[in-house]
């Protein structure tokens, strides 16, 4: 059986072009918002609400996808909303309009994410799920390498031409939408009778089995420790790294992530998902702990390379693990539930990180995060990795 099917390849290119578009704007979004008169406080409120909307909607639309037994309508609409939100951001500079545009972008992500991940799961077997998710994450992240690189190049020649950059980002975004019409969805997903609730993630968690809950508890414990990457970049800047090099480190991190995602997925399928995930957490702990003590530029660069490998060893693998632990007809709901809780916990973790940094120091945050993550890595060594087979009848252990 061919592991990387045509659908997986096309869907990966869809994510690639979407990430090119979104990451073209990621480094300049705060600059643009300040340029049109937004305060730091308002930017924080805007991003918090938008991310919260994305998080809650992942479980809602994931359940909806399972109820009707279809993936592509959610995938296509989600990518379309994100694509049109970018030119909307520069059509008007009124706060309410900008908030609407940013919310549409995040809502698009919430609509598509669970159905897209379920589609990837539908295209894989229990023996190669981590490879499939790893390949997709690799393609997606190469977009995160190209996007900010294009933005830096554009702004080098056209400083502060932010509106033009937002309009240019529409091109790869709409290419991604057009590519979705080349995806043919499988018809063997049976609809699941039921009602869709905005609090779907609470309902599903209550009814889910232990083979799903055990790893997800660990994932969420890590989510409440894993604050925004902004704190890593701020720590690098605090240690004397220039603004240009900070952006370069972000690009380098994404490059390492993209290169390592598929091989680590293949390794996880071979030796067990939990071992590669725990290895990833140990790398994360190492990076944070070392950033608490070092100020050598060469070591900081090495740590960002290791950080990319951490992401490759955890992001796609967590979703592959979830998709193996549940029945096919509830994959989107299961992934959406995890993603919703993860979004909420990430907001909490960034708040905690900000408090620690403000009251103590950046060094204290790095050391605290490193130590607590090491303990969570140990937890995963004791989690039993179980999964359901494609006919939903047999439980298989690694």
pLDDT one-digit tens code per residue, 121-133: 999 998 899 999 9
Question: Has residue 102 got a pLDDT over 90?
Answer: no
pTM over 0.75: yes
d(CA 263, CA 179): 26
> 388 - beta bridge partners?
395
Residue 218 inside a domain? The answer is yes
Q: What is the dihedral of CA 186, 192, 194, 199, to 10 degrees?
A: -60
pLDDT band at residue 389 using 50, 70 and 90 as cut-offs: low
Phi, psi (deg, nearest 5) at residue 186 = -65, 150
112 compared with 242, residue with greater pLDDT: 112
Q: How high is the pLDDT of residue 397?
A: 37
Q: Which two tokens stand for residue 319?
A: 């979703």
Q: Which two tokens stand for residue 196?
A: 């869709």
pLDDT single digits (tens) 312-342? 999 999 999 999 999 988 999 999 999 989 8
Q: How high is the pLDDT of residue 189?
A: 66
d(CA 226, CA 7): 32
Residue 187 inside a domain? The answer is no
Residue 307 inside a domain? The answer is yes
Question: Which residues, at least 6 apart from 350, have a Cβ–Cβ distance to it below 8 Å?
Answer: 227, 228, 230, 231
3-state secondary structure of 388: strand
Residue 329 inside a domain? The answer is yes
Q: Are 378 and 372 in contact (CB under 8 A)?
A: no
Q: How high is the pLDDT of residue 99?
A: 83
> 387 - beta bridge partners?
396
pLDDT single digits (tens) 215-250? 999 999 999 999 878 788 889 988 998 877 888 898
Average pLDDT of 349-362?
87
d(CA 359, CA 139): 40
Closest CA to 164 of 251, 95, 86: 86
Q: How high is the pLDDT of residue 41?
A: 60
Question: What is the percent of the chain where pLDDT is above 90?
Answer: 58
Residue 1 inside a domain? The answer is no
Q: Are 223 and 346 in contact (CB under 8 A)?
A: yes
Instruction: Name the DSSP letter for residue 36.
Output: T
Cα–Cα separations (whole angstroms), residue 256 to 69, 233, 260, 309, 374: 36, 16, 6, 6, 22
pLDDT single digits (tens) 156-207? 898 888 889 989 999 999 999 999 999 988 766 667 777 787 777 788 999 9
Closest CA to 226 of 317, 340, 310: 310
Helix-helix angle 229-238:243-271, to 10 degrees: 130
Residue 190 inside a domain? The answer is no
Residue range(s) defining the domain that contains residue 143: 6-182+197-397
Residue 69 inside a domain? The answer is yes
Residue 54 belongs to domain with CATH number: 1.20.1250.20
Q: How high is the pLDDT of residue 390?
A: 47
If one counts the domains in the chain, the total is 1
């Amino acid at each position: 059986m061919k592991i990387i099917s045509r659908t997986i390849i096309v869907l990966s290119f869809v994510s690639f072009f979407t990430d090119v578009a979104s990451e073209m704007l990621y480094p300049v979004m705060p600059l643009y918002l300040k340029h049109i008169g937004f305060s730091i406080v308002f930017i924080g409120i805007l991003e918090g609400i938008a991310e919260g909307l994305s998080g809650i909607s992942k479980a809602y639309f994931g359940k909806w996808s399972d109820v009707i037994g279809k993936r592509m309508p959610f995938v296509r609409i989600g990518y379309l909303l994100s694509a049109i939100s970018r030119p909307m951001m520069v059509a008007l500079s009124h706060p309410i309009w900008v908030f609407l545009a940013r919310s549409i972008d995040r809502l698009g992500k919430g609509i598509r994410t669970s159905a897209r991940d379920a589609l990837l799961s539908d295209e894989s077997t229990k023996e190669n799920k981590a490879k499939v998710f790893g390949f997709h994450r690799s393609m997606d992240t190469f977009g995160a390498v190209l996007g900010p690189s294009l933005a830096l190049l554009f702004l080098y020649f056209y400083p502060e031409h932010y509106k033009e950059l937002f309009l240019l980002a529409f091109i790869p975004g709409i290419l991604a939408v057009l590519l979705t019409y080349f995806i043919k969805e499988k018809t063997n997903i049976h609809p699941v009778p039921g009602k869709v609730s905005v609090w779907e993630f609470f309902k599903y968690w209550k009814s889910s089995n232990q083979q799903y809950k055990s790893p997800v508890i660990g994932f969420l414990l890590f989510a409440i420790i894993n604050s925004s990457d902004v704190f890593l970049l701020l720590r690098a800047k605090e240690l004397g790294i220039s603004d240009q090099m900070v952006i370069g480190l972000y690009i380098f991190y994404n490059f390492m992530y993209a290169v390592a995602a598929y091989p680590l997925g293949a390794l996880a399928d071979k030796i067990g998902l939990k071992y590669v995930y725990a290895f990833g957490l140990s790398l994360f702990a190492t990076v944070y702990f070392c950033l608490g003590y070092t100020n050598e530029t060469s070591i900081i660069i090495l740590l960002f390379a290791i950080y990319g490998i951490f992401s490759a060893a955890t992001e796609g693998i967590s979703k592959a693990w979830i998709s193996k632990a549940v029945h096919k007809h509830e994959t989107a709901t299961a992934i959406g539930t995890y993603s919703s809780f993860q979004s909420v916990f990430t907001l909490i973790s960034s708040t905690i990180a900000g408090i620690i940094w403000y009251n103590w120091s950046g060094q204290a945050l790095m050391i605290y995060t490193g130590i607590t993550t090491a303990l969570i890595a140990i937890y995963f060594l004791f989690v039993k990795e179980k999964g359901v087979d494609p006919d939903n009848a047999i439980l298989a252990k690694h």
